Structure 1
């Protein structure tokens, strides 16, 4: 079975679908003939995505709002796969973060993800057809990074959440895995590389740090490489693969 064939006719819910990684995954799934439900808190992003992928269903919801999330997805029919991609990134020291900033990071990246996963996974359990769930983490989930403290903490929490769910849902034939990427072209990476809003030279220092610590030439990966791994983790090509963290970082974790 090919990767494309694995998704034809499958129902897949993608959070954070309006831009970046989520948008790229939706476009690939759409080309494969999957039935995609794309969600984002930004309705304009979903409108333009719908133009590119006319067969998708779109749902506007803010995952940091528990009641809104439950209301938006409560009547959704069971899906075969869930990609937890939505998340907030911020370049801020733990020593200077405010309580509001810290709480918002956890509300979106952890609590919001838990809320939708609990709801969608229960629908999978009730349908008794099995399924697959993938969480998008980051190399920040496995290593501390200066100026990314709260973000690192949320990604570590997501990885533990996925592992716990893999144990709980395994007997129901629901697989749960994590994809942990390094640098791909997203808004947060652009901020880190340019140093916008930060001390002069921080962007250059970040690029030099990543380059020196990544054995494989170039620390930037093509978006399609990451999409390939995400879809593999969700697909029928990876049976028995559950409770794993699949890292794609050019060897950064070795340094």
Structure 2
């Protein structure tokens, strides 16, 4: 697989830490120019500084709400103005609001939909328009989840959005394939990040119930993302890949 992203430009949302940050690091390492987004300005600034310390002038940051259409347009415009084009988009940003189905509030429901679906949908829309104007195709990747494949307690709304993103990837095949734009999704399972490891039992529990014996590392997910964003996957579109160490094959609950 060729991971040469020289002369390529990417936008990655929700990338101040965790999986998104690792994707940005790997893209920069392999020659890409990256616009890194996170809603948290401090996380954005720190992440950009860390990447540029290793790979000078490879990354710029833009902090803001990536579910807001005006900010989405600003991200695309900024990437193009700074780097001359846009070739790849990783719609990574998402929020998880746990809650029992019977008492789940409308506010929480629509907040999850706004970010997870609205942000991804309209980023793909704006990126596609830019890629079409350039005439050289491109790659769009959505961040799904194993919860879009397997029921998970207190995640009805979140899991629904993740399943919807996989259907969106499939549907956009009809819309953008003629412009040589691929659209796919990756669906991580349990992954060790700064956020998940706030739970002191996370690694132990998921190591026990994951067939491969451990939760994913952020690099496991980034490796798959880079494949879908690379020319090596140029004839793959409308697909979703589960990266979960085999968990969805057996699906034991962490709550048991």
Is the TM-score greater than 0.5?
A: yes
CA contact (8 A) 1:166 1:177 kept: no
1:17 maps to which residue? 15
Q: Which runs of 5+ in 2 are unaligned?
A: 251-256
Q: Distance in 2 between matches of 1:75 and 1:188?
A: 29
Q: Distance in 2 between matches of 1:80 and 1:187?
A: 29
Q: Distance in 2 between matches of 1:34 and 1:40?
A: 19
Cα deviation, residue 67, structure 1: 3.2
Cα deviation, residue 9, structure 1: 2.2
CA contact (8 A) 1:176 1:243 kept: yes
Deviations for 1:147-198, whole angstroms, at most 9, x for unmatched residues? 111110111111111111122111111011111111112355346x55xxxx
Cα deviation, residue 31, structure 1: 1.6
Cα deviation, residue 134, structure 1: 0.8
Ranges of 4+ aligned residues in structure 1 off by more than 4 Å? 206-210
Cα deviation, residue 253, structure 1: 2.2
TM-score normalised by structure 1 residue count: 0.87
Q: Which runs of 5+ in 1 are unaligned?
A: 195-202
2:121 maps to which residue? 114
Q: Relative to structure 1, is the Cα distance of residues 160 and 207 closer, same or farther in structure 2, using a 3 angstrom cutoff?
A: farther
Q: Using the TM superposition, name which of 238-247 and 48-57 deviates more.
A: 48-57
Partner-residue secondary structure (3-state), 1:132:
strand
CA contact (8 A) 1:89 1:188 kept: no
Aligned-residue RMSD, C-alpha: 2.1
- 1:66 is the counterpart of 2:69: yes
- 1:248 is the counterpart of 2:246: no
Partner-residue secondary structure (3-state), 2:157:
helix
2:211 maps to which residue? 215
Aligned length: 241
